[in-house]
Chain A
Amino acid sequence: MSDQPFAITLEAGSSLSNKTGTWRVERPVYLNRMPPCNDACPAGEDIQGWLFHAESGAYEEAWRTLVADNPLPAIMGRVCYRPCETVCNRAQLDEAVGINAVERFLGDLAVAQGWSLPEPAPSSGTRVLVVGSGPGGLAAAYHLRRLGHSVTIHEAASRVGGMMRFGIPRYRLPRDVLDAEVARILDLGVGLELDRPVTDLAMTLATGGFDGAIVAVGAQVGKHTEIPAADSARILDAVRLLHSMEGEEPPSLGRRVVVYGGGDTAMDAARTAKRMGATDAVVVYRRTRDRMPAHAIEIEEAAEEGVVMKWLSTISSVDEGRVVIEKMELDETGFPRPTGQAEELAADSVILALGQDVDLALFSDMGDVAVRGGVVGVRADLMTGRPGVFAVGDAVGDDRTVTSAVGQAKRAARAFDALLRGEPMEDHHRHPLAPFYSLNTWYYGDAPREVRPRLELARRTATFDEVKGGLKEADALFEARRCLSCGNCFECDNCFAMCPDNAVIKLGEGDRYRIDYDFCKGCGICVAECPCGAIAMEPERPTSGG
């Protein structure tokens, strides 16, 4: 430079000695926010996490991320009521991401590919009893086994699966899928003893030499109500009906069937009746549709299959071939009260689906285990009053879905493990939620009107044995790629590309970025243009800065 004219001609790039970071009053910081789907998932899945892998077609990695929390994706992909999709931010853009469909795709792919679950940790020498082989039991067994404990499942029935087998009809959950995912868990070396009802938990623990137990018994006892009925009247219990669909000779229901109740089980019963040849399947419910406990999707599908709903009605009596119905009306508190008007319905049989109870007799000899209102009292970590004894699923109430059972099982298993190791349960702090407004959705391609119907179509195609079909690989990929990655950087390079001061440093694929506070002037463009809300401004700390 010496020969260059003084001051008139300058050295290239010499402004690097001018640290403009001192201009800053606010500084951008990278953060992770909780995506609504993960937040809402009862099974505690890292949905965004496994979608991230699915987006790039890394399906096995996606599946492995998934089963870290839930060993039953193929099942979950069929029976879950998808709270994740209800809260999906994408729904405000065009259509919620078909998370459940992708989960099922991954689950089925894993079965087809014969992917096996991760190897258990070295044996801890601890023996754990799991009561019940339903979703809660299986999930608990899986997590405990992975943590190195030896696990034995005691199942009262002669076949594995609990309510997944005896409560959920085949058309919603084909048994080969159930068997495949159960087998995969058992392959980890989980002991399964069938026809082993546990009637006295304390004794079973003692005699079996178990260090603890996770009780995951399902709600298998149908509720009853007193209805005046002729002896000739044919009245069955929905739970039994669905149970009897497995294996032994199914009962004959006749052509005209009335189902009493408004829960998912009522829908299952009605739709099962349809499949058993009933021409009329009428659901009688004492309140209105919006108060029906059954999930909307179940009601829709039942209606599509020709199931008729009778709202604001109670059955006052049952005779051979007919039932008498009394019309109800809602009082100002929304409680149904009789109107006195009666109506007759032809019915060859009446199925009662008025809810289920859990048989908690096994705790009768455990004074320190509180049983109230048909459920076991547990702490936040799902441990009962008896140290080392946990309860999950139907037994602790909650929404009594497969998904929450699986989620509780995971939490119980981890809590149990921590207890055994004498470590406190590490409570990983939850990130703040990533609401829709925190996103800059410009950067996501929109789904034009014409393709939106296709989204739905791709997710459900009616077949005889299974209502919903699976996604083709292309559709699954497409669906996965619709994820907005809410609250978590997916390395779109916007911050790196749009900083007027080149103050964002790209650390390389997978390593995200770093702000160069020597030069960042704190304009906040990176925050404004981050598609997924993974950067935030915070007040400059006087001590630091460029």
Chain B
Amino acid sequence: MTERRPARFYQVGSFAAGNRLVSLAERTVQADPSRTNSITSGHRACQGCGEALGARCVLDAAMRATDGNLIVVNATGCLEVFSTPYPESSWRIPWMHSLFANAASVASGVATALEVQGREQIRVIAQAGDGGTVDIGFGALSGMFERDDDVLFVCYDNQAYMNTGVQRSAATPPAARTATTEAIGLHPGNPFGQGKDMPRLAMAHGLGYVATATVADLHDLEDKVIRAMGFRGARYLHVLVPCPLGWATEPSATIEVARRAKECGLFPVFEAERGRVTSVSWIRHLIPVEEYLRLQGRYGHLFDADGRAAQPEVLERLQALADANIAAYGLLGDRP
């Protein structure tokens, strides 16, 4: 993560994917022309899909970390649907889709079999959207965690069921509008006080490694994937991947939205080992939550036509959530 690599302040493109002034090793995997492109062109994801990008970043990094010895199990969801509609597949790595709820279990089977075959050098990643992780897939996931099977489970969190038309999931944030939590009535959008803190739940299983990341910081995301592949046993990576369709954002804003989610404190980016938080990606330029929410149509009901706060009390509650994260994780680091 940014804190781990030597800081190169003032430098041109210090935080860009690549930087001609630093060694190839210090650039992102995505900056490398020889990257795997684990999910290749021609997939049917929406314009500006954060999940398509996130999956490529995660898997390409994992491919580098495992020297190409990777098998991926995919839960049902957008990622699976847009990547493998007969007769074309976008995957360039061994990939299997079984069901919505059982990706973790199938991955357990793959990992166990590889162990029996004495081919432990081949590593296994199970991946799912937030629905396949925190909701329908949670039982299988918890079982895989508890058995400490040698699987990295990656959740591409776009905070709702996008594949079926943007319905609410247990990862949908408060006040967000979905097809099943419409922005109408006394309390528009998703209720406060619900949902699962999945990374914390993963940590509660005592996993060797748990981390969160966003598609906005490739260095951080890739470092965590590579780090995760350095562990054996069950691991969990939670990646925030904005969805232009479900969040009602500009396709071009995907990265910016993810960046703001982190910079306002609503999405804490951190690493944990054996249930303890070991490092935190600091907020670089703290922004009020409005600057994050404003970009998204799913929060449109919180602002009036002129972009002024239509429901200040709701914004305050959301800001309070961000502030709580900032305090809980020390997201401002040692800066005033």
Contact = CB atoms under 8 A, between A and B. Distances in A.
B42 A519 contact: yes
A502 B57 CA distance: 11
Given A10-B87, A500-B53, A502-B56, A445 B7 contact: yes
A501 interface: yes
A367 B272 CA distance: 86
Interface in A231-246: none
B25 to A, nearest CB: 14
B218 interface: yes
B255 A529 contact: yes
Interface in B31-53: 31, 33, 37, 40-45, 47-50, 52-53
Nearest to B336: A449
B50 A500 contact: yes
Which residue of B27, B43, B244 has the most chain A CB atoms within 10 A of its CB atom? B43
Interface stretch (A30-38, A175-183, A248-256, A520-528): A520-528
Interface in A4-36: 7, 10-20, 23
Interface string B1-34: 0000001111111111111110000011011010
A56 B19 CA distance: 11
B24 to A, nearest CB: 10
Given A13-B40, A18-B42, A497 B218 contact: yes
Given A16-B40, A519-B41, A10 B88 contact: yes
Nearest to A484: B12
A15 B40 contact: yes
Contacts of A443: 13-16
Nearest to B94: A12
Interface in A309-349: none
Interface string A433-448: 0000000001111111
A499 B60 CA distance: 14
Contact of A498 (B41, B244, B255, B285): B255
Nearest to B41: A519
A493 B27 contact: yes
A459 B72 CA distance: 55
Contact of A494 (B14, B16, B33, B244): B16
Contacts of B20: 56, 490-492, 509
A531 B13 contact: yes
Nearest to B39: A502
Interface in A466-514: 478, 481-485, 490-494, 496-503, 506, 508-509
A55 interface: yes
Given A14-B87, A523-B48, A528-B252, A478 B10 contact: yes
B251 A524 contact: yes
B185 to A, nearest CB: 34
Contacts of A524: 48, 250-252
B42 A16 contact: yes
Nearest to A529: B255
A14 B41 contact: no
Contacts of A482: 10-12
B48 A493 contact: no
Contacts of B187: none
A516 interface: yes
B90 interface: yes
A509 B52 CA distance: 26
Contacts of A493: 16-18, 27-28, 30-31
Contact of A501 (B21, B43, B284): B43
Nearest to B89: A10
Contact of B90 (A15, A442, A529): A15
Contact of A445 (B15, B45, B47): B15
Contacts of A509: 20
A500 B48 contact: yes
Contacts of B253: 528
A485 B19 CA distance: 13
Contacts of A498: 17, 30, 53, 218, 255
12 contacts: A10-B87, A13-B89, A15-B88, A15-B90, A444-B15, A445-B8, A445-B10, A446-B9, A492-B18, A494-B17, A497-B31, A502-B56
Given A442-B15, A498-B30, 11 more contacts: A13-B40, A13-B89, A15-B42, A15-B83, A445-B8, A445-B9, A446-B284, A482-B10, A502-B41, A523-B244, A523-B252
